[in-house]
A and B are shown apart, each in its own frame.
Chain A
């Protein structure tokens, strides 16, 4: 496969926090439209990995190429990359001082220069898609966790990203709200957007992922298609991990 067809490329990425080696030689290629799920124990570096993709975290060695743009120290280049990449956080991170609608139109109008009218139209379209158009004038703290996370997804979509990063999107939710968020994510996956998702929802991984990646202690230990990943794990560490999370 030629280089251009990769949406995201991580080449031998290494990162340290002080003396602590958090990412060790991470190599990862993601094709356009591919859906990747990353799992692993906490502290394994999975969140750090996807946070490097939109440069929320700096890294010391290696190269990351996103949508044909290599990440450098250059602020303009970083912002250019971020325009192509949407990110959904564990704690939603909606802007509490702005209404739902204002949250959605903020970056289209200020980053892309879209007119307010046009941005509102786009925002309402995506709010309908995540099924909360009737909440447009409320403020984030008036919504439930599941609704807030759906707004956060819609906020990313308003920027028309090529890539969506999910950083444990359901970990902070009450159990009864996880389903509604996963439904929205599955729908997105069917639309062919490139997705990299850090999650512990193994059902979602089985159903949606093209490839599942297991990380431990800062490195990629195993990657496989979901079928073989869950039914035929190779490494001992993955076997142990799967035993621990699936037996409960």
Chain B
């Protein structure tokens, strides 16, 4: 027989932490990893300094076109055309309206994370599109601005947000429909989803801008932007449906049975028990899909709408400013990257907040 006393916890040995240990462990553990580390450092060395020179140190930040002497980027082009990139042909004296809409949007985005009340959250999601619409389009005493004047980054954000917000409920309905026990509803959902997913977005945009009007009575004018929005929403809804279906399939049957046994109806079971869990699981994939959509919105330039990318192309045909494509496209690239990266980070923080499963 033997009896053992209680052992006290000891500190880890000191040679298992610190930056030198980290480098040895992660960068130079084997000969191969040392070679790869040095090679990666070399690649960084040949790319980063010239890039920084072009973008910052040799760049032209002020003055006029005639005074340019530096070899680097000529950012004065961006400053000159900045308002066109951001607002398109929106009347300059009304710039405060999209600005205010953006400010409200930022407030909402920050507030949404801090608020724990479901009703306030619902109010935020539902009120935002209404407020934004009246701010940008006018009406209710504000001067009206036609959609042909919308453009630039403002239009890109409008198209992307409408696509995301409108497609979300539609996508959920199709996801539920695809899981339905009723054969007709299931078949309709499957056909819709598979048809849309089998067709490129650009085809849908052509269809909604060219074919859709054929179904309306003669003489009925149908806004070009609205047609594009319908096409994008239809497209995105099919993808959302598939993402949400993945989430639904991950929920154990026990959750359905527990909700059933408590007497919840189908819609209450789905709305209170199943969907909150399924959507939470789907957040990373949903955001991936939203980011794709945000980038896909540039395709609306095909049907004659001027989003930010189209504005760059357009300003390049200004005879006073020929040959400034590079600066324009780099600028647009940075804007896209900042917004997409922001969406990704924001979603991660939302997912973290809702994570109760640990």
Q: Which residues of A contact B (CB under 8 A)?
A: 54, 56, 75, 79, 82-83, 85-87, 89, 91, 93-97, 99, 106-107, 110-111, 139, 141, 155-156, 159
Determine which of B257, B263, B358 lies in contact with A83 in the assembled complex, contact meaning CB atoms within 8 Å: B263
Contact across chains for A141 and B358 when beta carbons are under 8 A apart: yes
- How far does the Cβ of A198 sit from chain B's closest Cβ, in whole Å? 14
B254 within 8 A of A: yes
Contact across chains for A89 and B254 when beta carbons are under 8 A apart: yes
Q: Which of B262-281 contact A (CB under 8 A)?
A: 262-266, 268, 272-273, 276-277, 280
- How far does the Cβ of B272 sit from chain A's closest Cβ, in whole Å? 6
Determine which of A79, A95, A99, A107 lies in contact with B255 in the assembled complex, contact meaning CB atoms within 8 Å: A95
Contact across chains for B268 and A110 when beta carbons are under 8 A apart: yes
Q: Which residues of chain A have C-beta atoms less than 8 A from B277's C-beta?
A: 95-97
- How far does the Cβ of B248 sit from chain A's closest Cβ, in whole Å? 14
Contact across chains for B255 and A82 when beta carbons are under 8 A apart: no
Contact across chains for A54 and B264 when beta carbons are under 8 A apart: no
- How far does the Cβ of A1 sit from chain B's closest Cβ, in whole Å? 28
Determine which of B258, B264, B272, B280 lies in contact with A93 in the assembled complex, contact meaning CB atoms within 8 Å: B258
Contact across chains for A93 and B254 when beta carbons are under 8 A apart: yes
- How far does the Cβ of B116 sit from chain A's closest Cβ, in whole Å? 12
- How far does the Cβ of A17 sit from chain B's closest Cβ, in whole Å? 15
Q: Which residues of chain B have C-beta atoms less than 8 A from A82's C-beta?
A: 260-263
9 contacts between A and B (CB under 8 A): A56-B260, A79-B265, A91-B254, A93-B254, A93-B257, A93-B258, A97-B277, A106-B272, A107-B263
B16 within 8 A of A: no
Contact across chains for A141 and B261 when beta carbons are under 8 A apart: no
Q: Which residues of chain A have C-beta atoms less than 8 A from B319's C-beta?
A: none
Query: Assuming the A-B contacts A93-B254, A97-B280, are A139 and B356 also in contact, with contact meaning beta carbons closer than 8 angstroms in the complex?
Result: yes
Nearest CB to that of B257 among chain A residues?
A56
Q: Which residues of chain B have C-beta atoms less than 8 A from A87's C-beta?
A: 257-258, 261
B357 within 8 A of A: yes
Contact across chains for B261 and A86 when beta carbons are under 8 A apart: yes
Q: Which residues of chain B have C-beta atoms less than 8 A from A95's C-beta?
A: 255, 258-259, 273, 277
- Given pairs A87-B257, A106-B273, A141-B358, 5 additional interface contacts (CB within 8 A): A56-B257, A89-B257, A96-B277, A97-B357, A159-B262
Contact across chains for B280 and A79 when beta carbons are under 8 A apart: no
Task: Give A40 to B75 CA distance when docked, in angstroms.
Answer: 81
Q: Which residues of chain A have C-beta atoms less than 8 A from B272's C-beta?
A: 106, 110
- How far does the Cβ of B304 sit from chain A's closest Cβ, in whole Å? 45
Q: Which residues of chain A have C-beta atoms less than 8 A from B258's C-beta?
A: 87, 89, 93-95
- How far does the Cβ of A155 sit from chain B's closest Cβ, in whole Å? 7
Contact across chains for A54 and B261 when beta carbons are under 8 A apart: yes
Name the 4 nearest CB pairs between A and B, nearest first.
A93-B258, A107-B262, A93-B254, A87-B261
Q: Which residues of chain A have C-beta atoms less than 8 A from B357's C-beta?
A: 96-97, 139, 141
Task: Give A85 to B261 CA distance when docked, in angstroms.
Answer: 8
Q: Which residues of chain A have C-beta atoms less than 8 A from B358's C-beta?
A: 141
- How far does the Cβ of A144 sit from chain B's closest Cβ, in whole Å? 15
Contact across chains for B262 and A111 when beta carbons are under 8 A apart: yes
Q: Which residues of chain A have C-beta atoms less than 8 A from B264's C-beta?
A: 107, 110-111
